[in-house]
Amino acid sequence: MAMGSRRSFASSMILNPEFSSFLPNQNHYTLKQLEDDQKILYVITQNVDGLHYKAGNKKVVEMHGTAFRVICLGCDYEIDRHEFQNILEEMNPNTTVESQDVRPDGDVEISEVRSF
């Protein structure tokens, strides 16, 4: 597999557990309050971490999509990201990935990928 693809799959594998453990911060809750008070209509974000939904906002436009659903661009097949994670891990039982940093927009710094 080409190095770019290896890193892309590796990023995807580590994104899921990382993002699932993230919690909204005060900024997310402030935007939730602003929506409740009808001071704003929408939150538009480039982040893919789903934290605006976790904070309770209902009207969120995710410009770069979300890390919580995977959709095939060929046939529109859709799968829950957690379910997809299980498949990735099943198909790559000997792969370990170490990350340094996961940013809210989904970019990941990968220090090492073994056995993709």
CB nearer to Zn ion: pick between 3 and 73: 73
CB nearer to Zn ion: pick between 26 and 77: 77
Active site residue 52: no
Listed residue (99, 80, 95) closest to 18, CA to CA: 99
Binding-site size for Zn ion (CB under 5 A) equals 4
CB nearer to Zn ion: pick between 80 and 109: 80
Contacts 24+ apart (CB under 8 A), 63-70: 64/105, 64/106, 67/15, 67/16, 67/19, 67/106, 68/19
CB 50 within 8 A of CB 67: yes
Largest CA distance in the chain: 51
Write the interaction track for Zn ion spanning residues 6-45; mark x where CB under 5 A is met and - where it is not: ----------------------------------------
Write the interaction track for Zn ion spanning residues 64-93; mark x where CB under 5 A is met and - where it is not: --------x-xx-x----------------
Listed residue (71, 114, 86) closest to 20, CA to CA: 86
List, by residue number, the catalytic residues.
64
- What are the residues binding Zn ion (CB under 5 A)? 72, 74-75, 77
